[in-house]
């Protein structure tokens, strides 16, 4: 299908709210496409496939961190915020990528990591080389507790305490909510703000259209560094995530001052039309609302709850409606990302997982905000089966604990060696090869493929602004059914195990069904098959035959 004819051009998305109603695509740079045969995805690899993404119909590509990095957390440990890691390419490659993207009508979002840097960043190196260096106060160094241990009970997301002894031997500790190699920055220091405003401007000047902000809820810490209240017992063998969730993070996350930081960022970049989307822990809905409400700093926030949902129809319906309401248009929806098992596997795996994922995606295209796909989600990809060594530090540093590698397998492009991802002997992360029908090549060629279904659904969202602009009318909500009306479109979701009959008050045509050929129509009665969603368009002028 020709992208230009299939979808309206980008100027449809002009104006400050252009991103609302858009469809984004997350690219995990290491695993998208390797152009130079070193086993690692790179920027020229991405640039060479932008036509494929434009054809799919997406508006925005978000690329995970491409900055120079020791790679301890695969790029989320940044050693230089204004350059490109040589393994991914050069600044010239990035410029070429942005130009090509814009030619295809795509916008490019960079992933900015402001909560922490790498311990190899010159700021941290200066901070530990000289306690009197102005860079010392870029980080959170604190005296030890009376017993010589860490200053408080904060824990790292990746296991162990959130504190490591100053390598300079001062006896102080520095704070890190992730790896010891990812020291947290001190956002109470105005110099850190100045540095980041300059970093944002650097990328805006290179044509970057928006930022996904890593750990956006993290930046501000309690000035007194008080203990977090513990809310449940920690038992041996707990996963680091469970240990982290055993505390109420009132002192290290979600502090009110954080929104002030983004208001300043917004002032800096909004004149250029640049969009700010925060990665938001959404466990606290009131806090979520403060970041993305009118006048708040962020245009939108990722609803992380949605990216880890399992198949439980009642909670799925409840979460989608709750956050749609709370976000007031500021939601960034994603069923999958690089940090969670893939949605197909979370929803039961196999064919079942594939059709359930599309049923929920079909509800999400009728919600306000921006809806993201994670690379290869449109292929119906399940979790990768890792055959080589695990790479995620959550796994390698916690006795093999379940980690994120299952979401990070290389994209299967072809049925050739390494599924066409690399010409090297092996990819950076070795996984079981995927069958031919899971590859991009095969799915582009097959008009009945999962990719074509996603392409149709994206096309529907793009030509139907009423899906996010017209106020939502909730016609039915049960434990398994959800019926939303948006102007002349009605979304009938049946996530239950029995067929559901919807009787429309006007004549209609089926615009999209998540299980092709699954719905049947009898005059104004629509039978929606189990675990599927159908979008219909009402039209009083339609003759009954038109519905056949
Ligand atoms: C975010 C990223 C994740 C990373 C972490 C620390 O959650 O999505 O991949 O490990 O932040 O930067």
* Ligand 1 pocket list (CB less than 6 A): 73, 76, 113, 178, 214-215, 279, 338-339
DSSP, residue by residue, 7-40:
S--GGGG-STTTTTT-EEEEE-GGGS--SSSSSS
Q: Closest ligand 1 atom, CA of 115?
A: 12
- The preferred substitution site among 27, 67, 77, 339 for testing ligand 1, maximizing ligand atoms within 8 Å of CB, is 339
Q: CA-based Rg of the chain, rounded to a whole angstrom?
A: 24
CB 161 within 8 A of CB 148: no
Q: Alpha helices, DSSP H only, in 477-535? A: none
Name every residue whose Cβ is closer than 8 Å to that of residue 302 and which is 6 or more positions away in sequence: 212, 277, 278, 279, 280, 282, 332, 333, 334, 337, 372
- Structural domains present in the chain: 3-118+188-462 (3.20.20.80), 122-152+164-175 (3.90.400.10), 470-547 (2.60.40.1180)
Residue 511 sits at φ, ψ, to 5 deg, of -90, -35
Give me the pLDDT at residue 545, please. 47
Give me the pLDDT at residue 73, please. 98
Tell me, in angstroms, the distance from the centre of ligand 1 to residue 242's CA. 16
Q: Whose CA is nearest to atom 3 of ligand 1?
A: 339
Give me the pLDDT at residue 474, please. 96
Tell me, in angstroms, the distance from the centre of ligand 1 to residue 488's CA. 40
**Cα(491)–Cα(282) distance, rounded to whole angstroms?**
25
CB 430 within 8 A of CB 51: no
3-state secondary structure of 510: strand
**Cα(198)–Cα(59) distance, rounded to whole angstroms?**
27
Give me the pLDDT at residue 546, please. 44
- The preferred substitution site among 76, 111, 218 for testing ligand 1, maximizing ligand atoms within 8 Å of CB, is 76
Tell me, in angstroms, the distance from the centre of ligand 1 to residue 214's CA. 6
DSSP, residue by residue, 153-179:
--B-TTSSBSEEE-TTSSS-EEE-SS-
- The DSSP symbol for 386 reads B
Mean pLDDT, 10 residues at a time, over the chain (548 residues)? 36 71 97 98 98 97 98 98 98 98 97 98 98 98 97 98 97 98 98 98 97 97 98 96 97 91 96 95 88 86 97 98 93 98 98 98 96 98 96 96 98 98 98 98 98 98 92 96 96 97 91 90 92 92 50
- The preferred substitution site among 27, 121, 175, 214 for testing ligand 1, maximizing ligand atoms within 8 Å of CB, is 214
């Amino acid at each position: 299908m020709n992208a230009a004819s299939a979808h309206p051009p980008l100027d449809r998305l002009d104006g400050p709210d252009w991103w609302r109603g858009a469809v984004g695509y997350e690219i995990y740079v290491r695993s998208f496409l390797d152009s130079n045969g070193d086993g690692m995805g790179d920027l020229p690899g991405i640039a060479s496939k932008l036509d494929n993404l434009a054809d799919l119909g997406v508006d925005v590509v978000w690329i995970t961190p491409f900055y120079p990095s020791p790679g301890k957390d695969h790029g989320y440990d940044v050693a230089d915020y204004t350059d490109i890691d040589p393994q991914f390419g050069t600044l010239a490659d990035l410029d070429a990528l942005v130009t090509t993207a814009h030619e295809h009508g795509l916008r490019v979002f960079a992933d900015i990591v402001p909560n922490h840097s790498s311990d190899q960043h010159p700021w941290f190196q200066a901070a530990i080389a000289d306690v009197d260096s102005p860079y010392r106060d870029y980080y959170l160094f604190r005296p030890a507790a009376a017993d010589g241990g860490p200053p408080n009970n904060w824990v790292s997301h990746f296991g162990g305490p959130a504190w490591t002894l100053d390598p300079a031997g001062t006896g102080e500790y520095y704070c890190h909510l992730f790896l010891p190699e990812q020291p947290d920055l001190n956002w109470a220091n105005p110099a850190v703000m100045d540095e980041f405003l300059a970093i944002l401007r650097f990328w805006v000047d290179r044509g970057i259209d928006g930022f996904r902000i890593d750990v956006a809820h993290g930046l501000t810490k309690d000035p007194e560094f008080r203990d977090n209240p513990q809310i449940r017992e920690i038992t041996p063998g707990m996963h680091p995530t469970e240990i982290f969730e055993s505390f109420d993070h009132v002192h290290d996350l979600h502090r009110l001052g954080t929104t002030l930081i983004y208001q300043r960022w917004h002032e800096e970049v909004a004149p250029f039309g640049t969009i700010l989307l925060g990665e938001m822990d959404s466990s606290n809905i009131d806090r979520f609302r403060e970041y993305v409400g009118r006048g708040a700093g962020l245009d939108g926030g990722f609803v992380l709850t949605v990216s880890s949902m399992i198949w439980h129809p009642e909670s799925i319906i409840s979460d989608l409606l709750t956050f749609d309401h709370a976000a007031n248009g500021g939601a960034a929806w994603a069923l999958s990302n690089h940090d969670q098992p893939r949605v197909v596997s979370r929803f039961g795996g196999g064919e079942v997982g594939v059709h359930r994922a599309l049923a929920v995606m079909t509800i999400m295209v009728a919600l306000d905000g921006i809806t993201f796909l994670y690379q290869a989600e449109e292929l119906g990809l399940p979790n990768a089966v890792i055959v080589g060594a695990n790479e995620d530090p959550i796994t390698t540093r916690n006795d093999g604990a379940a980690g994120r590698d299952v979401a990070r397998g290389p994209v299967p492009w072809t049925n050739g060696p390494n599924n066409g991802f690399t010409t090297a002997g092996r990819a950076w992360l070795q996984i079981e090869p995927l069958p031919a029908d899971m590859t991009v090549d095969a799915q582009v060629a097959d008009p009945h493929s999962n990719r074509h279904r996603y392409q149709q659904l994206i096309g529907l969202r793009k030509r139907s602004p009423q899906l996010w602009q017209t106020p939502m009318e909730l016609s039915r909500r049960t434990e398994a059914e959800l019926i939303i009306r948006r102007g002349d479109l009605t979304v009938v979701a049946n996530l239950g195990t029995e067929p559901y009959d919807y009787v429309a008050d006007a004549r209609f045509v089926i615009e999209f069904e998540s299980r092709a050929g699954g719905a049947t129509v009898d005059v104004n009665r629509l039978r929606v098959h189990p675990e599927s969603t159908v979008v219909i368009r009402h039209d009083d002028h339609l003759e009954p035959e038109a519905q056949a």
